[in-house]
């Protein structure tokens, strides 16, 4: 007969390489704290329901706590032969306290046990991610507060478009992250559900109290359907989706950082602490942290796709395929938490090259729309104004100058409506001041936006 926990009807042992393929202990050992937390709650409830004696429950709980401490002290080794964290802990418990340890599994299955562990882990991870997003948002707001009056070229199609506030540009990422945070907060409602007590798929004949384990594990609600409790991995997909969006937003911001730090742009200077050099080119200072975050985004979104494909077509209830729910989730959580920490440090320590940014908005045509608006205010139809400005820009390109350099008499050759007020009108700082619409790049609007953000953070 097999010596596996499930081996009563098996007459032989699998080969070691089959055990290795089947085992999950190499990654689900990360669930040790959640597994013991769930087991302590279960043992407590079993005693309350007189399924275990109080003495048996206390012996089991003390044994679990000792295993947990010894594991973290490096005194416990788990084995692939026992497959997963659940059977490894159960085996260790029985070794330490005897057959009473075998009573812990009364009224539950590994199916609801692993679901409980994963809910507890995901809830903890999501709360940590929310806190890290909040911290990064605070850093963005601080940097924005310092640069409301710093003007930079805004881009569309990676072509200079209109002058904008540097603060307005980076605050865009605050709002992306705010939506990310909201997604995680909303997902918590579907993560914070107790599956314990669903057993394998149909519940149990033992007089358990699921509401008690819900209370002990601080879950917000209970699964109403035992099949759903053990087969639901929507909360994993939802978490991976939210992580993917965070990573995509960080990747977009990373791309800006990478471009801004080039010699061609020189908009910012990254701290040495978040840059690396070249093994062959001594002059290089590479934005490798930003590039790594951009690269790791593919990894995180890949885990989402993998989980979706794992669930596609699975019949109820639990299937071994679901063992694949953990590695991707664990790695995605590790990736996004690391990326958020790195990004906050990178952003907090960079230098904004304000003189260079001011230079750029005086050496481009990002104020061309202002000239068109100026003509519109002089009662020139916009389409006609657009054509006139296009001709003026073409003249400037031919004569290697910008709109603020064009002599008044030349302006008036294109339109008699242009007078000497045009030069003050086209100054980049005045271009911003005239943007007064809600949510715009004007200094007044940006300061209001930052105040709204501060209120949200507080």
Neighbours of 303 (CB within 10 A): 21
The sign of the torsion formed by the CA atoms of 125, 126, 129, 130 equals negative
Q: What is the pLDDT of residues 166-209, one digit of tens each?
A: 999 999 999 999 999 999 999 999 999 999 999 999 999 999 99
Domain 111-151+166-353 has CATH 1.20.200.10: yes
Per-residue pLDDT at 4: 59
Least confident range from 5-14, 125-134, 336-345, 408-417: namely 5-14
The sign of the torsion formed by the CA atoms of 56, 78, 307, 338 equals positive
* Cα Rg of the chain, angstroms: 31
Percent over 90 (pLDDT), the chain:
93
Q: What is the pLDDT of residues 207-248, one digit of tens each?
A: 999 999 999 999 999 999 999 999 999 999 999 999 999 999
Per-residue pLDDT at 256: 97
Q: Cα–Cα distance between 34 and 26 in angstroms, integer?
A: 16
- DSSP calls for 247-291: HHHHHHHHHHHHHHTSTTT-SEE--GGG-B--SS-TT--B-HHHH
Q: What is the pLDDT of residues 33-60, one digit of tens each?
A: 999 999 999 999 999 999 999 999 999 9
Per-residue pLDDT at 9: 60
- Contact between residue 119 and residue 195 where contact means Cβ atoms under 8 Å apart: yes
Per-residue pLDDT at 279: 85
Residue closest to 428 by CA, chosen among 368, 375, 380: 368
- Over residues 368-383, the mean pLDDT reads 95
- Contact between residue 368 and residue 403 where contact means Cβ atoms under 8 Å apart: yes
Per-residue pLDDT at 5: 64
Q: Cα–Cα distance between 458 and 442 in angstroms, integer?
A: 24
The CATH architecture one would assign to domain 16-106 is: Orthogonal Bundle (1.10)
Per-residue pLDDT at 16: 78
Fold of 360-457: Ribonucleotide Reductase Protein R1; domain 1 (1.10.40)
Domain ranges of the chain: 16-106, 111-151+166-353, 360-457
Q: What is the pLDDT of residues 306-358, one digit of tens each?
A: 999 999 999 999 999 999 999 999 999 999 999 999 999 999 999 999 999 99
Q: pLDDT-derived band of residue 148, with 50, 70 and 90 as boundaries?
A: very high
Per-residue pLDDT at 11: 57
Per-residue pLDDT at 3: 57
Beta pairing class for 193-194 and 221-222:
parallel
- Over residues 359-379, the mean pLDDT reads 94
Percent over 70 (pLDDT), the chain:
97
Residues labelled as active-site residues: 157, 278
């Amino acid at each position: 007969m097999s010596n596996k926990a499930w081996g009563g009807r098996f007459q032989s042992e699998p080969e070691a390489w089959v055990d290795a393929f089947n085992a999950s202990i190499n990654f689900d050992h990360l669930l040790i704290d959640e597994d013991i937390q769930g087991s302590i709650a279960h043992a407590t409830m079993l005693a309350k329901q007189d399924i275990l004696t109080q003495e048996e429950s206390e012996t089991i709980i003390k044994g679990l706590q000792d295993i947990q401490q010894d594991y973290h002290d490096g005194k416990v080794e788990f084995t692939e032969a026992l497959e997963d964290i659940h059977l490894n802990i159960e085996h260790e418990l029985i070794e330490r306290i005897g057959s009473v340890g075998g009573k812990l599994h009364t009224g539950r299955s590994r199916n609801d046990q692993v679901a409980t562990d994963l809910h507890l882990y995901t809830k903890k991870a999501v709360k940590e991610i929310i806190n890290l997003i909040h911290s990064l948002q605070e850093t963005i707001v601080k940097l924005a507060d310092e640069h409301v009056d710093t003007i930079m070229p805004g881009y569309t199609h990676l072509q200079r478009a209109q002058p904008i506030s540097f603060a307005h540009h980076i605050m865009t990422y605050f709002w992306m992250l705010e939506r990310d945070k909201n997604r995680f907060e909303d997902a918590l409602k579907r993560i914070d559900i107790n599956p314990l007590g669903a057993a394998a798929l149909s519940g149990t004949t033992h007089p358990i109290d699921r509401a008690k384990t819900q209370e002990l594990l601080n879950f917000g609600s209970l699964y109403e359907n035992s099949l759903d409790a053990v087969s639901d991995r929507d909360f994993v997909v939802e978490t991976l989706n939210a992580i993917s969006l965070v990573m995509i937003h960080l990747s977009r911001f990373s791309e800006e950082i990478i471009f801004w730090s080039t010699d061609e742009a020189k908009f910012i200077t990254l701290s040495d602490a978040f840059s690396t050099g070249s093994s062959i080119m001594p002059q290089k200072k590479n934005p490798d942290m930003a590039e790594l975050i951009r690269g790791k985004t593919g990894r995180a979104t890949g885990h989402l796709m993998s989980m979706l494909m794992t669930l596609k077509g699975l019949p109820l209830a639990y299937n071994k395929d679901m063992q694949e729910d953990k590695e991707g989730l664990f790695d995605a959580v590790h990736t996004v938490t690391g990326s958020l920490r790195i990004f906050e440090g990178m952003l907090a320590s960079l230098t904004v090259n304000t003189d260079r940014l001011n230079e750029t908005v005086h050496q481009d045509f990002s104020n061309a729309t202002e000239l068109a608006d100026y003509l519109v205010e002089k009662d020139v139809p916009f389409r006609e104004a657009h054509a006139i400005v296009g001709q003026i820009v073409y003249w400037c390109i031919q004569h290697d100058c910008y709109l603020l350099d064009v002599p008044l008499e030349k302006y008036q050759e294109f339109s008699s409506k242009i007078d000497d007020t045009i030069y003050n009108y086209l100054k980049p700082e005045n271009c911003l001041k005239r943007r007064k619409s809600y949510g715009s790049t004007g200094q007044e609007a940006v300061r209001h936006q930052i105040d709204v953000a501060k209120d949200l953070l507080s």
